[in-house]
Amino acid sequence: MKIDHELEEQEKIIHWLNENLSCAYDLKERNIQLAHSCFDLVIEHHAAICLLYKSGLFGSMFSLLRVEFETFVNGLWLFHVADDHQVRRYEKNDLNLGFGTKVNMIENRLGISEGALKIIKSSSWSIFNDFTHGGYQSLVRRSNEIHTGAVNYQEKDLVSALRHAGLFALFSGVQLASMANDDNLVNKALAFYKSYGK
């Protein structure tokens, strides 16, 4: 089954990240500390999504996709964009920057036009919100005229959820590798990312 293969791919990601990113980091600057925690949390969410899949808790698995993506974007924003004043406001939960604004700021800072973040936001943000907040898309996958629950989820949707989760974890792994100031590790992380799914 395709889903069994995809789960194997996700387990490879978990293993690679754990084996290669348990290294020393220079976390003296506050924005770097917070960004590092975001990327680490994304990787934890990915592992949780895999565990929820194995437990047949598909609704909860899908609900973490928005959380994982949003945490990744927060990490990128803290790492690449935020100044000291913005970091202080972020710490006080007083930033008042919308998610789309953060995406635009990141891609502008990195010199990316219509990059992956905007594409994912445009194609998936609405459905991720439904999954997280009990919207229609989270409910329609659970039910038919007879049953509700895990039995009704389609394999293609489960594969897609695992793939999204894996990509966010891999993107976070690349960011963590760059924080380690180790070019070899960055190259290994990029090579592993490029090999994903092949």
Domain boundaries, the chain: 2-195
Per-residue pLDDT of the chain (198 residues; tens, 9 = 90+): 699 999 999 999 999 999 999 888 888 899 999 999 999 999 999 999 999 999 999 999 999 999 999 999 999 999 999 999 999 999 999 998 999 999 999 999 998 877 889 999 999 999 999 999 999 999 999 888 888 888 899 999 999 999 999 999 999 999 999 999 889 999 999 999 988 866
Q: How far apart are CA 45 and CA 188, in angstroms?
A: 22
Q: Give 192's contacts (C-beta < 8 A, 6+ positions apart).
A: 16, 20, 170, 173
Q: 198: burial class by Cβ within 10 Å (0-12, 13-18, 19+)?
A: exposed
Q: Give 54's contacts (C-beta < 8 A, 6+ positions apart).
A: 7
Alpha-carbon dihedral angle through residues 122, 127, 130, 136, given to the nearest 10 degrees: 130
Question: Cα 1 from chain centroid?
Answer: 25
Q: 82: burial class by Cβ within 10 Å (0-12, 13-18, 19+)?
A: buried
Q: Give 161's contacts (C-beta < 8 A, 6+ positions apart).
A: 49, 53, 61, 62, 65
- The enclosing H or E element of 94 equals none
